[in-house]
Chains A and B, each alone.
Chain A
Amino acid sequence: MSASRLSLRHVAKRFGALDVLGGINLDVAPGEFVSILGPSGSGKSTLFQILTGATTPGAGTIAFDGAELTDPAGKFAFMPQRDALMPWRRVIDNAVLGLEVQGVPRREAHRRVAPLLEQFGLAGFEQHYPSQLSGGMRQRVALLRTVVQDRQMLLLDEPFGALDALTRTSMQQWLERMWERHRWTALLITHDVREAVFLSDRIYVLSARPARVIREIAVPLGRPRTVRDLSAPEATRIEAELLDALLGSASPELA
């Protein structure tokens, strides 16, 4: 892969005696949807901490569009695990948070967000507070807040982990349609195998700590995808393969 948007080589990190990342190699091409699948506590979020500049890598190199990534500011739009919506801000004001930090005037920020409200199923809810929204709507506000920052790449940290199964499935379908439309370059962290298969072009499987890439699988399913595509033989084969890789690494004592 010559034209990677993001390219990680031997990225490692330890916190004191805790060896979290044991040398990660990973590439994301422009317009590609890539997932990182790993057992809980495997340091997936640490990877995002490094990419967002919240912590520094202990070793390894990170390249962004071919150049070494020294200052991650302005490159990534990050969506944290829990929605992290501000309860004191209305939906519209939560959505423009990133633009506000960038110094975009309020009116201009609202103007940019307005056309997306409909697509995100939030039209008519602009003036609501987060506490008045359902879990699925909160995640859509959080994703809207992420994409309007207009960064070159999205980092999604288990965005649907806290939702009930039904809402999660409908949110995944919705995100797939949104991605069809916008073709964001995205890196998704998840521990949900079906979610990874359904949304991704490519999937990396991480081992338990210290995390390494133990498997890399392309998902050659066509797009647009529907939930039914998950029962195609190709999809079930990938799912089985991913599960094997995950179970083999997560609990070696049971294998």
Chain B
Amino acid sequence: MLVDYSPVSRIVGRLTGPGKRLGVAIGAAWPATVLVVAIILVWEFYTRHSGIKPTTLPAPSRVLQQIIENRQALIDNALPTIAATLSGFALSVASAFISSILVDFVRPLRRALFPVFIISQTLPLVAIAPLVVLWFGFGLLPKILLVALVTFFPMMVALVQGYDSTDKDMEWLLRSMGATRAQVFLKARLPSAIPFFFTGLRISITYAVVGAIFAEYSGAAKGLGIYMLSAKNNFRPDLVLAAVFCSALITLVLFGCTVLIERLSMPWEQVRKDDRK
């Protein structure tokens, strides 16, 4: 156990119950918060005293001011990005789930499909994104497809690895009870994959937002990607950074959601962690 002298953890030590849990969360977040604040302060100091032009590097305070002034435009452009991210991600998770089951039940399929999936991961997004937009237009569809393309493989690999992590004794036990292949899958292999699934989910949700922005960058009517592109073309790095801030915020919120869902769907893991304390 690490000795923690931080003021927050000293206060947390005196709390109990749900207050304590919240306190622990704050306690865990404070080093990152301090680091981010420090970086912003250095950045602010540098832009004020080095004489660098705001069209090259705007101060964080200027970016914040732009966020407030352009909040309506930012929200209008963030909404399609969120929509593309979520629908693309949903498509990706659903198809990864279905194909992982197929691959689990039909072994030869695994050998046939995995090379294709690996190749799909080597396609450079820079080259593929404009093509997908060319084929499917400026609407939502090409964005959904690109988000699905970048997130499908990590989800698929996570699920297949999860199935394979199943305790062999557990499967033997189920077979000895007369379980069918489908029962073994539902009662042992699928639950064994849950932790892997959430690891995959956390990794690919961050890819998903980047994928959506990339797709918009290659051509869209609205969205943070196209907003960044036109801000850049107008020599407004402050607006580019304002949009970057929005995309980071979206990613963080979505990441937080996956962590929350993970906790809710694995109560036994929570019990284990609480007992360790």
Is B173 within 8 A of A54, CB to CB? Answer: no
B167 and A88 contacting across the interface, CB-CB below 8 Å: no
**Interface residues as binary, B260-276 with A (CB distance below 8 Å gives 1, 0 otherwise):** 00000011100110010
Q: How far is the CA of A54 from the CA of B170 in the complex (A)?
A: 12
Binary contact readout A155-169 vs B (1 if CB under 8 angstroms, 0 otherwise):
100000000000000
> Are B188 and A101 closer than 8 Å at their CB atoms?
no
Count B interface residues, CB 8 Å. 22
Q: Which residues of B contact A53 (CB under 8 A)?
A: 175-176
B45: interface (CB < 8 Å) = no
Q: B173 contacts which of A80, A88, A100, A132 (Cβ < 8 Å)?
A: A80
Residue from A77, A81, A129 within 8 A of B169 (CB atoms): A81
Whether A54 contacts B271 by the Cβ 8 Å rule is no
Q: Judge whether A76 is part of the interface by a CB distance below 8 angstroms.
A: yes
> If A101-B183, A131-B271 touch, does A88 touch B194 (CB 8 Å cutoff)?
yes
Asked if B183 contacts A86 (CB within 8 A), the reply is no
Q: Please tell me if the beta carbons of A52 and B268 are within 8 angstroms of each other in the complex.
A: no
Q: Which residue of B lies closest to A83 (CB)?
A: B169
B24 contacts chain A at the CB level, 8 A cutoff: no
For A80, give its contact among B172, B183, B188 (CB under 8 Å). B172
Number of A residues, CB within 8 Å of B: 27
Residue of B whose beta carbon sits closest to that of A145: B173
**Cβ contacts under 8 Å, A207 to chain B:** none
Contact mask B174-205 → A, CB, 8 Å, 1/0? Answer: 11111100010001100100100000000000
A52-B176 contact, Cβ under 8 Å, with A81-B169, A84-B169, A86-B170: yes
In the assembled complex, the Cα of A54 lies from the Cα of B188 at a distance in Å of 17
Interchain CB contact under 8 A, A78 and B271 = no
A129 and B268 within 8 A (CB): yes
Chain A nearest CB from B147 CB (Å) reads 30
Q: A-side interface residues toward B, CB under 8 Å?
A: 49, 52-54, 72-74, 76-78, 80-82, 84, 86-88, 97-98, 100-102, 129, 131-132, 149, 155
